[in-house]
Amino acid sequence: MAKRNVLHFTGIGSAFNAPFGNTNAYFIDGTTLFIFDCGESVYARMLKLLQSKRIRRVVIIITHLHSDHIGSLGTVLSFCSHVVPKPVDIFYPTRAIERFLKCIGISDDKYTHHLSVPEDWNLSIVPYRVVHSNMIACFGYEVSFKGATFYYSGDAHDIPDPVLKKFLDNKIDLLFHEATIDTASAGHCSYTTLERKIPVSERKRVYCMHLGSEKLAALLIKKGFQIPKIEVP
């Protein structure tokens, strides 16, 4: 499992790339559904899984609070409370998520917020504060699960130095990292940054996401990077 894609993506698009859907990934461990981010398109694309009797618990891991990453979070929480009752846990390392949910009318009895990872999740998550927006806390996550370790960037201007070193030393198996074609972006990671920092021989272990266009996807593939397949359950 170590060097294959351990995540399924329902969308790989940037905020305004509607055809690609909001960037969102998930995996299932037993009866628990783990979701990375919950943007506007996510509820509709994950509805069948949320309805599934196989899924008895939902864990949502939030990278930051922009709407293309949490836009349908309130709907998912309400659905799991009122329609298909099942507990929902949220992982986000600050309490800002609680204030946001209160503002949109989601009471705290509809979810459990975790600032650190409970032991019964059977995985570890190491948060890295990343540069994206100076108005909100933004994180990338190093996740270790069943013998595999991967890094999921969320939106980030760059790869954290410790993450890059671990990746190049093969202590992180896979990188799931955002990429933009805009070489002057202050809040997103230019494809030229990935090109400069990731040797050609290692690019097959890098999956690029949060893409703004088909043109960028084709360019990244040409340079040896991977593009996650969009899979709507």
| Residue-wise pLDDT tens digits, 9-36 | 999 999 999 999 999 999 999 999 999 9
- Note whether residue 230 is domain-resident: no
The radius of gyration of the chain's CA atoms, rounded to the nearest angstrom, is: 17
Burial of 90 (0-12, 13-18, 19+ CB in 10 A): buried
31-72, pLDDT tens digit by residue? 999 999 999 999 999 999 999 999 999 999 999 999 999 999
Residue 92 banded pLDDT, cuts 50, 70, 90:
very high
* Tokens 């503002």 -> residue: 103
Average pLDDT over residues 117-123: 93
Beta bridge pairs of residue 208:
177
- Note whether residue 165 is domain-resident: yes
Is residue 3 pLDDT above 80, yes or no? no
Q: What domain range includes position 144? A: 8-222
pLDDT reported for residue 2: 45
Is residue 128 pLDDT above 90, yes or no? yes
- Note whether residue 170 is domain-resident: yes
Measured distance CA(137)–CA(131) in Å, rounded: 9
Question: Are the CB atoms for 61 and 37 separated by under 8 Å?
Answer: yes
Which H, E and C letters describe the chain, residue by residue? Answer: CCCCCCCEEEECECCCCHHHCECEEEEEECCEEEEECCCCCHHHHHHHHHHCCCCCEEEEECCCCCHHHHCCHHHHHHHHHHCCCCCEEEECCCCHHHHHHHHCCCCHHHCEEECCCCHHHCCEEEEEECCCCCCCCCEEEEEEECCEEEEECCCCCCCCHHHHHHHHCCCCCEEEEECECCCCCCCCCEHHHHHHHCCHHHHHHEEEECECCHHHHHHHHHCCCECCCECCC
Q: How far from chain centre, in Å, is Cα 35?
A: 7
- Note whether residue 232 is domain-resident: no
Question: Are the CB atoms for 42 and 25 separated by under 8 Å?
Answer: no
In total, how many domains does the chain have?
A: 1
Is residue 113 pLDDT above 50, yes or no? yes
pLDDT reported for residue 1: 38
Q: Which residues contact 233 (CB under 8 A, 6 or more apart)?
A: 8, 10, 45, 46, 48, 49
Specify the CATH number for the domain of residue 139: 3.60.15.10
What are 201's two structure tokens? 């021989």
- Note whether residue 233 is domain-resident: no
